[in-house]
């Protein structure tokens, strides 16, 4: 077992402090930290439906020193240390090694941080001021600056989202190989390239803990977005047409989703995972 940890005197884990180069930025409305996070299409739909309030990400352990073991530890709180900026570290779980004394905090976020969701998308723009954007559902929209008298910028730019929108029929000035003919259709962009302004989903982190992947409970599987399959005594981590994601128990459905996203055998490996809990807030 790991010796007792004196929370009030132990320095803050470096992983809890944003480093130079990290994509961390203050929220436009406050000094709350914001970070991007990627979600697949089924998980985006679960976020929009309000059925997903957790996400799990693999803990990247620096080593597997067999002279000790990795263990879950409490961290933070009013007497739990300070960040480099002098702020109180929010209470959460970290993971520490009983031999080396290394302590790892969640590199993705802390309680109180905000996560803006990146998803697969395409951008549509128009140079005509009298042409209305295709979507009127309150999604992000960029309009031409009022001082752009020479119309250097497009009249508006709006995103289409692959998780929920039909493929738009767009026109590109060059073909995908750089040819001279126009290219019609849609080029979906990977989620990693989504700019902040185009994100339609904003999450506020309410808790962070560490556990083994296979320790997920039925309640946690439901919080991961698993839902009952209509008309059948089954559960699904996707939609009615996602047969490979159907199972008799919520945990089994989530297991199939995990293997689909992370590769065959990734569930059986039973890694340590960060469990990030959140609630959706207005952008």
Q: What is the pLDDT of residues 244-277, one digit of tens each?
A: 889 999 999 999 999 999 999 999 999 999 999 9
If one compares 174 and 16, the residue with the highest pLDDT of the two is 174
Say yes or no: 170 and 77 in one domain. no
**CA 236 centroid distance within chain:** 20
Domain containing residue 68: 14-117+201-216+271-281
Q: Would the pTM count as exceeding 0.85?
A: no
61 and 85 inside one domain: yes
* Domain endpoint, select from 148, 163, 198: 198
Q: Are residues 35 and 94 in the same domain?
A: yes
Same domain assignment for residues 94 and 160 = no
Name the band, by pLDDT with cuts 50, 70 and 90, for residue 154.
confident
The reply to whether 250 falls in a domain is no
Asked if residue 248 belongs to a domain, the reply is: no
- Does 107 share its domain with 43? yes
- Please give the pLDDT value at position 153: 73
Q: What is the average pLDDT value for the chain, to the nearest integer?
A: 82
**Cβ atoms of residues 171 and 183 within 8 Å:** yes
Distances (CA, A) of 196 to 70, 117, 168, 188, 269: 36, 9, 21, 17, 34
Count up the domains in the chain and report the number. 2
Q: Is residue 266 part of a domain?
A: no
Residue 238 lies in a domain: no
**pLDDT band at residue 128 using 50, 70 and 90 as cut-offs:** confident
Same domain, 62 and 162: no
Q: Are residues 85 and 132 in the same domain?
A: no
**87: in domain:** yes
Among 15-24, 204-213, 258-267, which stretch is predicted with the lowest mean pLDDT? 15-24
Lowest-confidence range among 29-33, 44-48, 162-166, 277-281? 29-33
Which residue among 135, 164, 198 closes a domain? 198
Residues 154 and 276 in one domain: no
Within-domain flag for 231: no
Tell me if 256 sits within 8 A of 62, measured CB to CB: no
Tokens at 233, concatenated: 């005594």
Identify whether residues 45 and 77 lie together within a single domain. yes
Domain membership of residue 36 (yes or no) is: yes
Which one is predicted more confidently, 19 or 69?
69
pLDDT-derived band of residue 18, with 50, 70 and 90 as boundaries? very low
Where is average pLDDT lowest: 3-7, 168-172, 198-202, 247-251? 3-7
Q: Residues 80, 209: one domain?
A: yes
């Amino acid at each position: 077992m790991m010796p007792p940890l004196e929370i009030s005197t132990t320095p803050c884990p470096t992983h809890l402090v944003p480093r130079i180069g990290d994509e961390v930025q203050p929220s436009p409305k406050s000094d709350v930290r914001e970070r991007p996070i990627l979600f697949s299409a089924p998980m985006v739909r679960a976020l929009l439906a309000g059925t997903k309030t957790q996400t799990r990400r693999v803990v990247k352990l620096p080593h597997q020193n067999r002279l000790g073991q990795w263990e879950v530890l409490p961290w933070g709180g009013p007497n739990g240390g300070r960040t480099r900026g002098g702020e109180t570290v929010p209470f959460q779980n970290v993971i520490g090694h009983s031999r080396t004394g290394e302590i790892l905090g969640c590199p993705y976020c802390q309680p109180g941080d905000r996560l803006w969701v990146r998803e697969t998308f395409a951008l549509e723009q128009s140079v005509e001021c009298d042409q209305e954007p295709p979507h009127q559902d309150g999604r992000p929209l960029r309009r031409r600056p009022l001082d752009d008298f020479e119309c250097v910028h497009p009249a508006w730019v709006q995103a289409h989202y692959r998780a929920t929108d039909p493929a738009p029929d767009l026109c590109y000035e060059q073909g995908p190989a750089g040819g001279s003919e126009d290219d019609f259709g849609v080029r979906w962009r990977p989620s990693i390239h989504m700019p902040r302004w185009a994100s339609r989903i904003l999450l506020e982190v309410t808790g962070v803990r560490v556990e083994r992947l296979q320790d997920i409970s039925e309640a946690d599987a439901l919080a991961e977005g698993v839902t009952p399959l209509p008309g059948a005594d089954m559960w699904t981590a996707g939609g009615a047409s996602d047969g490979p994601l159907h199972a008799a128990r919520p945990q089994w459905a989530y297991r199939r989703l995990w293997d689909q996203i992370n590769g065959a055998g990734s569930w059986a490996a039973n890694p340590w995972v960060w469990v990030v809990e959140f609630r959706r807030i207005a952008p």
